[in-house]
Amino acid sequence: MSRDIIPADKPVTTDRKQYHIEVKEGDVAASVLLPGDPQRVTKMSSRWDEFREVAVHRQYVTHTGTFKGVPVSACSTGIGGPGTAIAIEELANVGVRTFVRIGSCATLKPDIEIGDLIISTGGVRLEGTSKQYVRPEYPASAHYEVVLAMVEAAENLGFNYHLGVTASTDSFYLGQSRPGFGGYTQSMSESLIDDLQRANVANFEMEAATLFTLANIYGFRSGAVCAVYANRVKNEFEVKGEDDVIDCGNEAVRILAEMDEEKSASKKRYWSRSLK
């Protein structure tokens, strides 16, 4: 009795869906929003014109639909770089080429308020996943078109927003200069915020640097916008701004579609203001 052999280096399910996220070609749009929290996917898609649930497997929840007539998908990644990299790899396998992280963060700047949005221009690679792909000197940078689209989205919606470099970590606690259980700490953790502030880093989160690195390697567009839930300088925490960051992400995908139409009509490879 013969059977198809699934290669171990390119694992898929028996019905040829991507192994972890369980989607196949045609299930997702070319632009995908990437929240960490699976519950945030439903909050995103509830604002769309229409949507359908494509897959639910492990931490990966995927919806596909349209927002103001523009095809869009959302896929949760879970927390951290490893889960994010899996989502990027498998979404890329089925045709995704624009990736926009929608998350939460802690700011390192005293003048940024809880509930504001931070649009990342680049990432400090304090996580480990990106180092499995390329040497640590390789830059983690957001695509300029995604940054511009998110700026325009935030302006259109009247949100308070900031641009800055984001530090991505593998640890929410010591990796972001919080004490561990029983007050455990290390000198490198205690000095981290001061060091990053001197380097003008805007915020902590856990996925952007992985996303930017992989997207740059593969030639994809990527970006990240996060709501500020904590101010580490003022030592304040509040879950605030989730609706704003979701709306900013949805609107940015719409704006990116406009940019792509303008590039196509002008036969240009890159978008500039003169095309508008």
Active site members = 20, 90, 178, 232
Of 152, 162, 140, nearest to 223 (Cα)?
Answer: 140
Taking the alpha carbons at both ends of the chain, their separation in whole angstroms is 61
Tokens standing for residue 130: 């990106």
For helices 242-266 and 144-157, the axis angle rounded to 10 degrees is: 120
* Contact (CB, 8 A) for 43 and 58: no
Measured between alpha carbons, how far is 55 from 159 in angstroms, rounded to an integer?
A: 32
Q: Is 135 helix (H, G, I), strand (E, B) or coil?
A: coil
What gap in Å lies between CA 136 and CA 156, rounded to an integer? 37
